[in-house]
Every structure is written in C-alpha cells, then in structure tokens.
Amino acid sequence: MKTINLLFLAIVLLVVACNSSNKNETENSDKKIAESKNDDKTEVKKGNDEISVKHIYKVESGYIKFKTNTAGIDMTRELWFDDFGNKQYEENYMLIMDEKHGSKSLILDGFSYSWDLDAEQGTKMKFYAAVTDYDNVSEKDIEKYGIKKHGHEDVLGKECLKVSTEEPVKSNIWMWNNIPLKTEAEFGGEPVLMEAVEINIGKVDAAKFTLPENIEFVDYP
C-alpha cells in the first residue's frame, strides 16, 4: 500500500508550509519552528520541578475524522490526540471489500512511529512539531512561503482562519486552533482535498497512545 502512504504524505506536506525538501533542512527547520512559534505552553509540576509542555494544538484532546479524495480515490484519516497534540495516533486507510488497507502512526515521547497495517516492522524517528501558528506567523515566513490570510470561514461548525500558500505547493488551508480542518491543493498534477467530517473534543482512551507489541521499530535512516 505504498501508493496510499504517498498520498497521505502529500496531504501532510500541504499543511506544513515551513518544511524543506532536504531531510537535514527539514529537521532543522522543524526544530526552529517548534521552538520559536509553538510558544503556548502549560507549566506542570513533577516533584519539586516545573516542566514546560509545548502546545502543538490549542485544544488538549480529541478525535477528528477526515475524508480525503485524491485522483478519484476516497480515503479516510482518523486522528486521536492528547496533551495538546504531543500525543497523536492516526489511521490512514481506504476500504477494499470492507477491509482496511493503509497505515498507522503514533507520536509519543518526542518520537514518531509509523507502520503499514499488514506489517511486522515499522520506522521510528525524532519528532519535531513543525506547526505554523498562522495567527502569529513571521513576516519572513509570509514572504518566503507566499502566505496570505483570507479571513475566517466555517468548517463543520468551527470558525477557521483561511490561509493560502504558494510554497512548497499552492494550497488553501482552513486552520482551527492550529489544526488544519480542511486542505485543498494540487499535488503531482492531481487535486487533493482533505476535510474533517467529524469532530469530538474531549478525553481520549490512553490505550490509543500505546506502541503495538507485535511491531518491531527500526530507526529511520
């Protein structure tokens, strides 16, 4: 199911305007964005120490279901998150004869894990929260990525800031609390649309953020 994974990778690229195509540049850029723009945080106590917890999203926990259409292929993305996005579990799949085909991913303790649904092995890599807070985007990034704001529009009952970008691809993104609820763009000459169809804000079962015992994870090269 490599095709499915590539299509969902395309969607991810659409909503992270400040990524570089070079791996080293991407990691450095992501790290800087996480440090400089993701300033919302909660101070929590562990023993006598206070620890700053970065906020990737501005909502603590919840579930969002997305529908995606790329090149006439309908797919589903389900996202569960907690700790303001520091924990995330995803399933990206299409249904063939009522059977899921696709991939899963888990963000946990600063690492990103991903694996195919039918795999016995997955990959592990350092996670950098490459989140662009478009409400506070810098003038440098506005110029570099051709970012424009187009006011607010409703998506599934949520007031979203509509943003367009010229780089790394031309896209329109509807952001709600740092979460892209709708994304439309063109990738590889094909239109890509991802839109939330269900949102439930509230506590998520902690079991969702547990690494599967039957998958061996290897470091991403």
Domain segments of the chain: what residues? 2-38+54-134+188-203
Q: Give 221's contacts (C-beta < 8 A, 6+ positions apart).
A: none
Q: What is residue 73's predicted lDDT score, i.e. its pLDDT?
A: 80
Of 130, 113, 146, whose CA–CA distance to 12 is shortest? Answer: 130
Cα(117)–Cα(106) distance, rounded to whole angstroms?
A: 13
Contact (CB, 8 A) for 173 and 157: no
How long a stretch of residues is the chain? 221
Q: What is residue 5's predicted lDDT score, i.e. its pLDDT?
A: 45
Q: What is residue 120's predicted lDDT score, i.e. its pLDDT?
A: 93
Q: Please give the single-letter amino acid code of residue 80.
A: W
| Residue ranges in the chain modelled with pLDDT below 50 | 1-7, 9-11, 13-38, 43-52
Peptide bond into 221 cis (omega under 30): no
Q: Please give the single-letter amino acid code of residue 4.
A: I
Q: 48 in the Ramachandran plot: left (φ > 0), alpha (ψ -120 to 50) or beta?
A: alpha
Q: Give 113's contacts (C-beta < 8 A, 6+ positions apart).
A: 105, 106, 107, 122, 123, 124, 211, 217
Q: What is residue 156's predicted lDDT score, i.e. its pLDDT?
A: 95
pLDDT in tens, 57-74: 999 999 999 998 777 788
- What average pLDDT is seen over the chain? 80
pLDDT in tens, 5-51: 444 544 454 444 333 333 333 344 444 434 444 455 554 444 444 33
What does the buried/exposed string (b/e) look like for 89-126 if buried means 16 or more CB atoms within 10 Å of the residue's CB? bbbbbbeeeeebbbbbbbbbeeebbbbbeeeeebebbe
pTM: 0.78
Q: What is residue 51's predicted lDDT score, i.e. its pLDDT?
A: 36
Q: What is residue 41's predicted lDDT score, i.e. its pLDDT?
A: 57
Alpha-carbon torsion angle 171, 4, 117, 168, nearest 10: -30
CA 145 → CA 16, 17, 28, 101, 165, distances in Å? Answer: 11, 7, 17, 34, 6
